[in-house]
Amino acid sequence: MPIEELIRVGKILPIMRWGEPVMHAPTRDVTDFSSSLQILLADMFATNLAAHGAGLAATQVSVDLAAFVFDCHDDEGRRRVGLVCNPTVNFAKRRRRRFVELDEGCLSLPGAFVETTRPDYAICRGQDQYGDDIEIVGSGTLARCLQHETDHLN
């Protein structure tokens, strides 16, 4: 399903709290890009939207697959909506790479915020909902989200 459809058809799932075993174990790679994955991704978009999140990892809905969805803004204020299966995050060598310390929250720890230092720029590579290779370059909140959600999966 195209992302425009995935964000319209899902149902809201319960969000796992920190401490649940699925939240503390490495995930399995996504290898099956069939309709069951499409349904999971649609449900993850609906859950993230209902929770007013920037992103949501599959582990947060009790699924041990390496996938996450995001819906947040980059440092230029552009809304970015997407997903990544089997993500890896890299940090480009930039002349002025900055580390930014901000309060960071998590849907699995409602109401908690911790000052977290992260690079202000990230490159996330993986596959889309069809299994095709993708690369997402993120800055601002999007960079932080790509890093945070990938952390959940590792």
Active-site amino acid positions:
149
The greatest distance separating any two alpha carbons of the chain, rounded to the nearest whole angstrom, comes to: 44
Measured between its terminal Cα atoms, the distance across the chain in Å is 26
Cβ 43 vs Cβ 50: under 8 Å = no
- At which residue do the structure tokens 């959600």 appear? 149
Residues 4 and 96 sit within 8 Å (Cβ to Cβ):
no
Quote the CA–CA distance of 130 and 117 in Å, as a whole number: 33
* Three-class DSSP category at 107: coil
